[in-house]
Amino acid sequence: MKSTLILSTALAGMAFPATAQEVNVVSWGGAYEKSQVEAYNKPFAEETGVKVNMIAADNPATPLKAQVEAGNVTGDVFDIEVSDAIRLCDEGALVEIDPASLPAAPDGTAATEDFVDGALLDCAVANIVWGTVISYNTTKFEGDAPTSAVDFFDTETFPGKRGLPKNPKRTLYLALIADGVAAADVYDELGSDEGVERAFAKLDTIKDDVVWWEAGAQPVQLLADGEVSMTTVYNGRIFDAMVAEGQPFEVIWDGQYMDMDMFVIPKGAPNPEAAMDYLKFATDTQRLADQAKYIAYGPARKSSADLVGLYQDGETEMAPHMPTSPEALENAVMDDPEFWADHDAELSERFNAWLAAS
């Protein structure tokens, strides 16, 4: 009797993962993860009966690479940055996704037309567009408020420390914009030695006033503590502080750095079909628009823009807080993953050498 019990328990335990429909999604945690749970996971589970497990990672590309290399893939869908999506796709770690198989917009526009430029790759589909923007503490400046990237580098008129991320990708472009380079020419400039010199020379002018941050939560904290008067910050985080916590912050869209987040499926995923279903479901027009209700990131589909409504507090209009709004796009630099795949290592070394030489 006892052995039968043990045997049946063991069998049930073995059978469970095979029959239970589930999909493991690895994402970035925090408010962002919450928005995905509300906008994608809950309706997906309701509609299909498939359980969605959310796993948080500092940068989901790192566990993805580790899992593929170790031959033990446990995640089905990963939410990663564009440069990592391209790199991992070229290295053969990801499943190819046919853009024609993605659901069309409600008005019948094919997915290939509906997504913004660069949102569909061989192995990846974008879900959101997010920006790194300048933000300042309104209590820190009497008189004129700063309005541009130039003001960010002007510590005479706008005193106080500045917050910048400790990496070349999100600092060098801002230096060039502030030095008068047009957003469209930033990568041409960074591709030349003179352009890199120019960016570092501009950074030199505020080097002693910079507090370097690493994690996305830090700049918001620095701004709230009054440790810096102005900082660059991810737009979703600063929106959260401004609207949900009522902090006296303001956003400058000039010199915005735009990025996308991508859904990818690794080769060898444990539940490939469920993963593909989830990916198609989560990137349809309604779901992307729904996500904007919980976090200030722009949907990667054009057809979602009109469906973006109010924030979950029921009173804040989301459209002007979107990194894809017309004002925000005026002087925005779009991330160039090819450029960074080529130059990330080199410029990182340069950047760290520059940091260390004080």
Enumerate binding residues for another protein (CB under 8 A): 58-59, 61-62, 65, 84, 86-92, 161, 166-167, 207, 210-212, 214, 225-227, 338-339, 341-346, 348-350, 352-356, 358
CB atoms within 10 A of CB 315: 8
> CB 297 → another protein: shortest distance, Å?
22
Q: Which is nearer to another protein, 81 or 290 (CB)?
A: 81
> CB 10 → another protein: shortest distance, Å?
23
List CB contacts of 47: < 8 A, sequence separation 6 or more: 281
Q: Which is nearer to another protein, 90 or 327 (CB)?
A: 90
Place of tokens 């054009």: 302
Backbone torsion region of residue 211, taken as left when φ is above 0, otherwise alpha when ψ lies between -120 and 50, otherwise beta: beta
Q: Which is nearer to another protein, 188 or 317 (CB)?
A: 188
> CB 61 → another protein: shortest distance, Å?
7
- CB of 127 within 8 A of CB of 282? yes
Q: Which is nearer to another protein, 22 or 209 (CB)?
A: 209
> CB 352 → another protein: shortest distance, Å?
5
Q: Which is nearer to another protein, 46 or 194 (CB)?
A: 194
Q: Which is nearer to another protein, 169 or 237 (CB)?
A: 169
DSSP string across 140-184:
G-SSSPP-SHHHHT-TTTS-S-EEEESSSTTTHHHHHHHTT--GG
DSSP string across 183-246:
GGGHHHHHTSHHHHHHHHHHHHTTGGGEEEE-STTHHHHHHHHTS-SEEEEEHHHHHIIIIIS-
Place of tokens 């770690």: 93
> CB 88 → another protein: shortest distance, Å?
8
> CB 166 → another protein: shortest distance, Å?
8
Give CA–CA dist 212/184, Å, rounded.
Answer: 26
